[in-house]
Amino acid sequence: MPKARIWLLGLLALAALPALTPNAYVQYVVNSSLILAFATIGLNVIFGYAGQHAFGFPVFFGFGAYASALLAMDGGVPVPLAILLAALVTGAISAVIAVFAFRLRGIYFGVGTIAFGYVIYIVAQNWVDLTRGPMGIPLVPPLYLLPNGASAIINRDTQTRIAVVIAIGIVIFLLDRLLRSPVGRAWHAVRENESLASSLGISPLRYKMAAFVLGAAISGLGGGFYAHYVSFVSPTELGFHYIGVVFIMLIAGGMATLPGPLIGSVVFGVLPELLRVAEMARSLLLGLILLFCIAIVPEGLTGIWKRLHPTQRQRSGLAEGAPSPLSTESTGGIEPPATETGELRVERVFRKFEGLTALRDVNFSIRSGEVVGLIGPNGAGKTTLFNIIAGSMAPTGGRIAYCGDEIGGRPAHDIAARGITRTFQITSLFPELSTEDNIRIATHLRSCREPLAILSRSARFRTIEAALDRKVDDIFKLVHLEHARDLPAAALSYGDQRRLEIALALATGAGLILLDEPAAGLNAEETDELCTLVRRLRSSGYTVILIEHDMRMVMNLCERIIVLNLGQLIFDGPPEAAAADPTVIKAYLGTESADA
Which residue number, 20 or 295, has a Cβ lying nearer to other proteins? 295
Contact 334, 503 (CB under 8 A): no
Which residue number, 290 or 403, has a Cβ lying nearer to other proteins? 290
CA angle 370, 371, 377 (to 5 degrees): 135
Give the nearest distance from C-beta 596 to other proteins in angstroms.
36
Can you give the length of the chain in residues?
A: 596
Which residue number, 320 or 354, has a Cβ lying nearer to other proteins? 354
Give the nearest distance from C-beta 119 to other proteins in angstroms.
5
Residue whose C-alpha is closest to residue 18's, from 143, 162, 151: 162
Give the nearest distance from C-beta 52 to other proteins in angstroms.
10
Which residue number, 81 or 123, has a Cβ lying nearer to other proteins? 123
Which residues share a beta bridge with 375? 563
Contact 253, 262 (CB under 8 A): yes
> Which residues fall within 8 angstroms of residue 454, CB to CB, at 6 or more apart?
177, 178, 181, 182, 183, 448, 461
Give the nearest distance from C-beta 583 to other proteins in angstroms.
39
Which residue number, 53 or 367, has a Cβ lying nearer to other proteins? 53
Give the nearest distance from C-beta 349 to other proteins in angstroms.
27
Give the nearest distance from C-beta 84 to other proteins in angstroms.
30
Cα 436 to Cα 429: distance, rounded to the nearest angstrom:
12
Q: Which long-range contacts (CB under 8 A, 24 or more apart) does 306-315 make?
A: 313/486, 314/486
Residues that bind other proteins (CB under 8 A): 47, 53, 55, 100, 103-105, 107-108, 110-112, 114-116, 118-119, 122-123, 125-126, 240, 243-244, 247, 251, 280-284, 286-288, 290-291, 294-295, 298
Give the nearest distance from C-beta 53 to other proteins in angstroms.
5
Residue whose C-alpha is closest to residue 45's, from 278, 213, 237, 272: 213
Per-residue burial over 118-151, b = 16 or more CB atoms within 10 Å of its CB, e = otherwise: eebbeebbeeeeebbeeebbeebebbbeeeeeee
Give the nearest distance from C-beta 104 to other proteins in angstroms.
5
Contact 312, 486 (CB under 8 A): no
Give the nearest distance from C-beta 121 to other proteins in angstroms.
9
Which residue number, 294 or 579, has a Cβ lying nearer to other proteins? 294
Residue whose C-alpha is closest to residue 158's, from 139, 145, 149: 145
CA 378 to chain centre: 34
Which residue number, 293 or 578, has a Cβ lying nearer to other proteins? 293
Which residue number, 51 or 182, has a Cβ lying nearer to other proteins? 51
Contact 513, 544 (CB under 8 A): yes
Compute the Cα dihedral for 108, 111, 116, 119 and give only its sign: negative
Which residue number, 431 or 541, has a Cβ lying nearer to other proteins? 431
Which residue number, 63 or 542, has a Cβ lying nearer to other proteins? 63
CA 22 to chain centre: 45
Single-letter residue type at 140:
V
In the 8-state DSSP scheme, what is residue 48? Answer: I
Give the nearest distance from C-beta 15 to other proteins in angstroms.
31
Give the nearest distance from C-beta 212 to other proteins in angstroms.
16
Cα 70 to Cα 139: distance, rounded to the nearest angstrom:
11
Which residues share a beta bridge with 353? 356
Which residue number, 247 or 386, has a Cβ lying nearer to other proteins? 247
Starting from the edge strand earliest in sequence, which strands make up the sheet with 543-547, in order? 420-422, 512-516, 543-547, 371-375, 560-565, 568-573
In the 8-state DSSP scheme, what is residue 44? Answer: I
Cα 216 to Cα 95: distance, rounded to the nearest angstrom:
9
Give the nearest distance from C-beta 520 to other proteins in angstroms.
23
Which residue number, 392 or 508, has a Cβ lying nearer to other proteins? 392
